[in-house]
Amino acid sequence: MDKDKVQITQQKIFEVATEIFSEKGFEGARVDEIAARAKINKAMIYYYFKSKENLFAEIVKNFFRECDIFKLELKDEIYWSENVDGEIFFDKIEKFVTDKKALIKIIIIDSMKSTANDASVLDIIMPIFEARREISKNNNLSKDELTEQLIKRFFFITIPWIAFLAVGEKWGKFFELDRDSAKQSFMKIFIKYRQEYCKSTKKEI
């Protein structure tokens, strides 16, 4: 098989697997179904990706690569601004997340699992934050200051908006809340904490 056909086959597997993982979750997805929908031999999936776990890991890694590219695009506009316009911020992020909502739900759910044998989503995500930890170290922060910044970055900046955009609509329906009002309230609270974070760090991490 020539190089172009190999790339086309791998991309087809990747795209179809992303669809099925998004629809059925990691546990519900079957390699047989991925192969059937992609119209390829199941053996090709194992040849290129070795296992369902490795295929899912590659999908998660690709998602976070796309997130990093997106954040770089936002960086000069609004993302790192202390006086960020909340409406613009959320409109841009909401547009980016919309077609990835199902996959984000699976990533969140899988990250809560603890298994002895399988690598979790957190194992895939953590190297991304390791780079930020090294940047923070270079800013001559004390151990306590570094710990505080990393906790704020991950649990109070990254996780909240991902969770809200992924499950906020269903959450709002459960509590019979108007979607736009809930969004505005979340945005107000989030931006407040974001601004406090920017003031406390004073440096990009």
Which CATH number goes with the domain that contains 28? 1.10.10.60
Mean pLDDT of 85-113: 71
Q: Quote the domain boundaries for residue 37.
A: 1-50
- State how many domains the chain has: 2
Tokens representing 151 are 């906790």
Which pTM value belongs to this model?
A: 0.63
Distance, in Å, from the CA atom of 40 to the CA atom of 38, rounded to the nearest integer, reads 6
Amino acid at 173: K
Amino acid at 178: D
Distance, in Å, from the CA atom of 62 to the CA atom of 174, rounded to the nearest integer, reads 32
Q: Are residues 125 and 181 in the same domain?
A: yes
Q: Are residues 68 and 153 in the same domain?
A: yes
What are residue 189's phi and psi, to 5 degrees?
-65, -45
CB neighbours (10 Å) of residue 1?
8
Q: Are residues 70 and 2 in the same domain?
A: no
Contact partners, residue 38, CB within 8 Å, separation at least 6: 12, 13, 15, 16, 17
Mean pLDDT of 51-59: 89
Any idea what DSSP says for residue 140? T
Predicted confidence (pLDDT) at residue 158 exceeds the cutoff of 70: yes
Q: Are residues 102 and 12 in the same domain?
A: no
Strand, coil or helix: 204: coil
Predicted confidence (pLDDT) at residue 82 exceeds the cutoff of 70: no
In the prediction, which pLDDT does 143 show? 78
